[in-house]
Amino acid sequence: MAQTTILPMHCLYGIFLEGNLKINKNDQDGMKIFKENIKKFTNELDELDKKSPQSRIGGAICFSSDIWGTITNKISKPKELKSVNTLSSYMPGTSQRDILIHIISDRMDTCFKLAQDTLGNFGDQLDIKQEIHGFRRWEERDLTDFIDGTENPEGDKLRTKYGLVAAGQPHEFGSYVFTQRYVHNLKKWNPVPISIQQDTIGRTKVDSIEIPKDKRPITSHVSRTDLNENGEDLKIVRQSLPYGQITGEKGLMFISYSCSLHNIEKQLQSMFGQLDGKHDLILQYTTPVSGGFYFAPSKKELSEL
């Protein structure tokens, strides 16, 4: 089975923790304790789910390419897994960390408890570099006031197809993960006429209807990310959430899960001008300030690290 942040839909809250492992790979005692703390995370996740099923708690621990061999020498590294820093020549904000802990729930207090307990258990074994608390807005709108994730696959069948490595394949039921924190420039965005905003996104603002391909700019966000290759849609499963402070930074904490890293990397190449020299118009109003590639092993594989 997959870890539990991938298939659920419409979670109301999320916590995103990214950091670096502070254990030497030769420190066998330290690694043993680290793996015990991973088990504590999965055990508490199960306990919270049983105690409060209505909270719809979900969680995942994900690992980078660089740290995979440190965590385990028993399980081969997923073949597509690599550092996001390999994209730094064209994409700003690349900041690969070792570990991602992603928690979702319909209650922020439940998210917070699991995150707090988990970091308490790991202690100084983890150096957290970014902590983001996300929230679902009305009608699932981003802070730009456009509905976010309209084309997100719905239902377990489609989310399994696009979000998980297929059954029978190496690392089955695992998932390639991409995180990217965007900071929105709402002072620049909000005064823009709705017609131009809609051209930028490629959808209508009120009801999120996709503007026909021949009537929207080739540089609209929809045109840049709605990709098809050899007759196959390059879809991803998104669990992104708005975040921010009224008086500080605010934007979108983007996170995607995918059966193949190729799907999200192709979208990034399209957004940042690597396919045809054209950039996504949305990048005039929002800036990526972090980014990482990870792999979320299945529950079974996580228990065997």
Strands 13-21 and 126-135: antiparallel
Strand partners, 279: 272
pLDDT average, residue stretch 170-192: 99
Strand partners, 293: 178
Q: Which residue has the tokens 């690290």?
A: 305
Q: How far apart are CA 251 and CA 245, in angstroms?
A: 9
**DSSP 3-state of 58:** strand
- The answer on pLDDT for 196 being more than 90 is yes
| Span 123-160, pLDDT tens digits | 999 999 999 999 999 999 999 999 999 999 999 999 99
Q: How far apart are CA 156 and CA 58, in angstroms?
A: 15
Residue type, 85: N
Please choose, from the candidates 255, 78, 102, the residue with its C-alpha nearest in 3D space to the C-alpha of residue 178.
255
Model confidence at 181, pLDDT cuts 50, 70, 90, reads very high
The token pair at 146 is: 């456009």
Please choose, from the candidates 271, 278, 238, 294, the residue with its C-alpha nearest in 3D space to the C-alpha of residue 92.
271
Provide the pLDDT for residue 26.
85
173 neighbors 224 (Cβ within 8 angstroms): no
The token pair at 116 is: 């707090």
Catalytic residue among 98, 106, 142, 148: 148
Q: How far apart are CA 54 and CA 47, in angstroms?
A: 13
Our answer to whether residue 148 is catalytic in this structure is yes
The token pair at 159 is: 């989310």
The set of residues, in sequence order, having a beta carbon less than 8 Å from that of 81 and lying 6+ positions away, is 64, 65, 68, 176, 261, 293, 294, 295
Please choose, from the candidates 242, 237, 238, 8, the residue with its C-alpha nearest in 3D space to the C-alpha of residue 134.
242
Helix axes 108-122, 28-51, angle to 10 degrees: 160
| Span 6-61, pLDDT tens digits | 999 999 999 999 999 999 888 999 999 999 999 999 999 999 999 999 999 999 99
Helices in the chain by DSSP H: which ranges?
28-51, 65-71, 108-122, 155-163, 186-189, 194-201, 221-225, 261-271, 299-303
Model confidence at 72, pLDDT cuts 50, 70, 90, reads confident
Model confidence at 254, pLDDT cuts 50, 70, 90, reads very high
Q: What is the pTM of this model?
A: 0.97
Provide the pLDDT for residue 24.
86
Please choose, from the candidates 164, 160, 169, 172, the residue with its C-alpha nearest in 3D space to the C-alpha of residue 301.
172
